[in-house]
């Protein structure tokens, strides 16, 4: 324990906004647009633990979809614009909003997974029902 270097780890929100390593806060988290790097290029943290699955896409689609759809509905009720106005405003707003927030949200979820040591659930079986091998 004493030989481990000290890391001033960022909060999950900070790591998400900066798209950086959740342990050192300096290394890059992504190798491409959404592909995670195999490990941190600064502290060597293996990103193999990171598996946010569909979480980032779900949160981004839900959040951006609610905001943009609310704006679409408001504009439709207030001004009744022609459909081409929605095609040049609402549709690009959905695409740009999703693309702009997907990386930070994925980084935030990976940092939360690292800090909370979250992983896939496993069953700890004691064998058959009402059988505890520790009592033998």
* 15 is a site residue for Zn ion (CB under 5 A): no
Buried b (16+ CB within 10 A) or exposed e, 82-109: eeeeeeeebeebbeebbeebbbbbbbbb
* 43 is a site residue for Zn ion (CB under 5 A): yes
CA distance linking residue 8 with residue 20, whole number of Å: 13
Query: Considering beta carbons, is residue 60 or 110 the nearer one to Zn ion?
Result: 110
Member of 15, 29, 36, 40 binding Zn ion (CB under 5 A): 40
* 28 is a site residue for Zn ion (CB under 5 A): no
Query: Considering beta carbons, is residue 8 or 124 the nearer one to Zn ion?
Result: 8
């Amino acid at each position: 324990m004493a030989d481990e270097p000290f890391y001033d780890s960022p909060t999950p929100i900070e790591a998400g906004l900066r798209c950086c390593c959740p342990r050192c806060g300096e290394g890059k988290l992504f190798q491409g647009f959404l592909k995670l790097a195999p490990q941190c290029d600064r502290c060597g943290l293996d990103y193999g633990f990171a598996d946010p699955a569909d979480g980032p896409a779900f949160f981004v689609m839900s959040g951006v979809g609610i905001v943009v759809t609310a704006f679409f509905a408001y504009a439709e009720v207030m001004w009744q614009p022609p459909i081409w106005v929605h095609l040049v405003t609402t549709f690009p707003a959905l695409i740009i909003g999703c693309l702009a927030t997907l990386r930070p949200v994925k980084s935030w979820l990976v940092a939360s997974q690292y800090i909370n040591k979250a992983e896939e659930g496993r069953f700890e079986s004691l064998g058959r029902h009402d059988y505890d091998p520790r009592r033998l």
